[in-house]
Amino acid sequence: MLRVALFGAGRIGQVHARSIVESGEAELAWVCDPIEEAASTLAGKYGAKWSPAPGDAIDDKSVDAVLIASATSTHTDLMRDAVLAGKKVLCEKPIDLDMAKIDATWEAIKGSAPFVMLGFNRRFDPSFREVNARVKAGDIGRLRALRVTSRDPQGPPAAYLAVSGGMFRDMTIHDFDMARYFLGQVTEVSAVASHNNDPVFMGANDHAQAMLTLKSADGVLCTIVNSRTCAYGYDQRLEAFGDLGSLEAGNMTATTVRASNAKETEAAGPVLNFFLQRYMPAYKAEFAEFVAAIKEDREPVVGFADGRAALVLAEAAIESVATGKVVTVTRG
């Protein structure tokens, strides 16, 4: 059994605790969070040790791996300390908001045979994964375009927005990774965005809506449509379009029941509300890949370089909004 320390007992930390204990392959050894009540409550639920200080778990020689699900600004220091102590790392997105900090972290760890997997969970969603596998198997001939729709049900609180790094680094980062998953290297980014005159987004100098167009090194196009709010739930869809047809993955509802009556036809229940409901199978599959890659002594399918490349695309989108120009990217 892999002994795992979890850093961060917030929204996503609680999801990962469940993936770890339900994996059957790992044991939740520690939960660390400076908010003592959060750490002790989550640790108590699963019989783990807890501490306000991640260093306690990093110093524990019996810990094999750490899962970093803490606030973004803490990721790089925790990753560096864990890798240098010989731990395998699964780190939530984004690695950090600052490219210089990301590169300094890589410099500090690259000589220590780092095993770092990035938490781009959407690569592990069964539907998106199947679309990707069928594109790669040639089911739609040559891929020409990808359309990604990604809308959150409600905007984050102002306090979160203030430290999030903005929509492109915090939210679109998943879609940039999805684009890279299908297209490989992205070489052009153009973006338009709007705060919708909403004082919350205006106050944070952030966006409520964005539309982006990406182009890959071999000419495949991708559109990304983002919104921070969506009245009908967590809108997560994609379509791959190729010479021989298309493949689509749609939204999910809790059941398959459809009602027809005088006012509506084939009416379904609401779309699954947010990431916990929509992506739970993906978080579990993500953790299974983490364990499998460690066991098989190979690189994880999504790693540090993918985390960096997604941030390169976020920086390009920010520049495109500011300049109104298409931005050419290298290392995207």
Ligand X SMILES: NC(=O)c1ccc[n+]([C@@H]2O[C@H](COP(=O)([O-])OP(=O)(O)OC[C@H]3O[C@@H](n4cnc5c(N)ncnc54)[C@H](O)[C@@H]3O)[C@@H](O)[C@H]2O)c1
- Starting from the edge strand earliest in sequence, which strands make up the sheet with 49-51, in order? 49-51, 26-32, 2-7, 65-68, 88-92, 116-119
Alpha helices in the chain (DSSP H): 11-22, 36-46, 54-58, 75-84, 99-109, 126-136, 158-164, 167-170, 172-183, 199-203, 275-295, 304-323
Closest-by-Cβ residue to ligand X is 10
As a whole number of angstroms, the distance between CA 176 and CA 272 comes to 22
Q: Which is nearer to ligand X, 121 or 216 (CB)?
A: 121
Out of 38, 131, 146, 178, which residue is the one contacting ligand X (CB under 6 A)?
38
Q: Which range touches ligand X (CB under 6 A), out of 66-74, 107-115, 234-242, 307-315? A: 66-74
Is there binding between residue 12 and ligand X (CB under 6 A)? Answer: yes
Element (H, E) at 30: strand 26-32
Is there binding between residue 93 and ligand X (CB under 6 A)? Answer: yes
Nearest distance in Å: CB 291, ligand X: 18
- CB of 75 closer than 8 Å to CB of 105: no
Question: Residues near 126 by Cβ (< 8 Å), separated by ≥ 6?
Answer: 281, 282, 285
Q: How many residues bind ligand X (CB under 6 A)?
A: 23
Nearest distance in Å: CB 9, ligand X: 5
Tokens 């984004």, residue located: 94
Nearest distance in Å: CB 72, ligand X: 4
Question: What does the radius of gyration of the chain's CA atoms come to, in whole angstroms?
Answer: 20
Out of 1, 22, 35, 205, which residue is the one contacting ligand X (CB under 6 A)?
35
Q: Which is nearer to ligand X, 221 or 280 (CB)?
A: 280
Is there binding between residue 11 and ligand X (CB under 6 A)? Answer: yes
Is there binding between residue 43 and ligand X (CB under 6 A)? Answer: no
Is there binding between residue 8 and ligand X (CB under 6 A)? Answer: yes
Is there binding between residue 7 and ligand X (CB under 6 A)? Answer: yes
Of 133, 322, 146, which is closest to residue 237 (Cα–Cα)? Answer: 146
Is there binding between residue 33 and ligand X (CB under 6 A)? Answer: yes
- What is the pattern of x (binds ligand X, CB under 6 A) and - over residues 227-266? ----------------------------------------
Nearest distance in Å: CB 119, ligand X: 5
- Count of residues in the chain: 332
Mapped onto helix, strand or coil, the DSSP state of residue 181 is helix
- Write phi, then psi, for 33 (nearest 5 degrees): -160, 135
Range 125-184, binding ligand X (CB under 6 A): none
Tokens 């991708």, residue located: 222
Is there binding between residue 54 and ligand X (CB under 6 A)? Answer: yes
Give the footprint of ligand X on this chain (CB under 6 A): 7-13, 32-35, 38, 54, 69-72, 74, 92-93, 119, 121, 275
